[in-house]
Homo-oligomer: A and B are copies of this chain.
Amino acid sequence: MSFIATPQTMHFEEALALASGASIRDYHLSFETYGELNAARDNAVLVCHALNASHHVAGSYAGQPRSEGWWDNMIGPGKSVDTNRFFVIGINNLGSCFGSTGPMHAHPDTGEIYGADFPVVTVEDWVDAQARLLDRLGIRQLAAVMGGSLGGMQALSWTLQYPERMRHAVVVASAPNLTAENIAFNEVARRAIVTDPDFHGGHFYRHGVVPKRGLRIARMIGHITYLSDDVMNEKFGRELRNAVSGGGYQYSTQDVEFQIESYLRYQGDKFSDYFDANTYLLITRALDYFDPARAHGGSLARALAAAQARFLLVSFSTDWRFAPARSREIVQALLENRRQVAYAEIDAPHGHDAFLLDDARYMAVVRAYFDNISRELQP
């Protein structure tokens, strides 16, 4: 049983300038905090979320025992990131669909639902929005910023955009940019959504429909890339769902034959019931666009010269979406800048998903790192 979490909302009147040149004003951010900000205000840890997550990082909601936050195994009293020592903050990003202002909300000028007109947001924009929220909470400098996958990109970007506002950055299962293959998977998912007749150019809300077919396909593709080939073989292999008498095939092209098909269809159905299609487009685009080396002629080392934080990077051996080699690029670029970096490559079978799962070595590495951070806190 985990502790009780309580979501909060903060409203921002003033316009936030975005990387695209557009801006957004009169928006709100959902967030949660766990633990207590100490008197020195130096024990705050900001947790950035990935594609399908939110500000609900840890704990459970009152009366909903199965509502654990997405990193509840990592963060809480006595856990690797110990909320008895740290004040942990989770923020739902702009454009997401879990409470913060996003495509399903109304534009303040027109009162019309944004839909596809919600401005394109980048990792850098999210970091700017998060920084404003920290300002309001009176937190000048974080003990650490941390995240996995797309969340790790935000943590990395924090160290470049606000180098003096954190002492540590924990970047898990991440990359300095997406490869062409990763962009390709995102693009197929987006095409599935956009070409669903129920998408209506992104204004499906007006039509009382949801492009569920596209969302299902997008999620199925995503799920394949989150798992390793090995773990799929171990969990599902070629197992049939309903072998006919004698254990044979049903010989159907449309019915579920293999367990893996049943699993993927279930994941797709579940996702399409709650995730917003425009948010999916926005967040995958933010992934595509992130590339701090771009402004430095492709040199990651030059890009990371701005960082002042100390770093922990973690990758997972079977993660083919954000492969260990991509984390090592970041490590290398930081070392070229003589930054302090710890790096753990965890031999885990679960692919990209490993960053969300329990693994004794992974949890121990993060625990040890945060134990060290806690020793730096003012008493």
Contacts and interface: CB of A to CB of B under 8 A. Distances in A.
A72 B95 CA distance: 51
Given A120-B253, A192-B192, A281-B254, A177 B232 contact: no
A236 B180 contact: yes
A220 B188 contact: yes
B185 A224 contact: yes
B190 A253 contact: yes
B216 A195 contact: yes
A217 interface: yes
Interface string A174-210: 0001111101110110111011110000100000000
Interface stretch (A35-43, A130-138, A285-293, A303-311): A285-293
Interface stretch (A73-81, A160-168, A258-266, A329-337): A258-266
A289 B291 CA distance: 42
Interface string A109-140: 00000001000100000000000000000000
Given A120-B251, A177-B238, A179-B232, A260 B191 contact: no
A352 to B, nearest CB: 13
A284 to B, nearest CB: 8
B281 A183 contact: no
A237 interface: yes
Size bin of chain A's contact surface: 35 or more
A20 interface: yes
Question: Interface majority SS on A: helix, strand, loop or mixed?
Answer: helix
A180 B238 contact: yes
Interface in A9-47: 19-22
A224 B268 CA distance: 20
Query: How many copies, total?
Result: 2
Contacts of A50: none
Given A179-B229, A253-B285, A264 B188 contact: yes
A181 B281 CA distance: 25
A252 interface: yes
A257 interface: yes
A221 interface: yes
B261 A220 contact: no
A212 to B, nearest CB: 9
A213 interface: yes
Contacts of A194: 254
16 contacts: A116-B254, A120-B251, A120-B252, A180-B236, A180-B238, A183-B260, A187-B220, A187-B264, A191-B216, A191-B220, A195-B213, A202-B254, A217-B217, A249-B289, A252-B285, A253-B278
Which 9 residue pairs are nearest across A and B when measured between Cβ atoms?
A: A20-B251, A253-B281, A180-B232, A120-B251, A195-B213, A180-B236, A188-B220, A180-B260, A187-B261
Given A181-B232, A185-B224, 16 more contacts: A120-B252, A120-B253, A179-B233, A180-B235, A180-B236, A180-B258, A184-B223, A184-B224, A188-B221, A188-B224, A190-B253, A191-B216, A191-B265, A196-B213, A217-B217, A258-B288
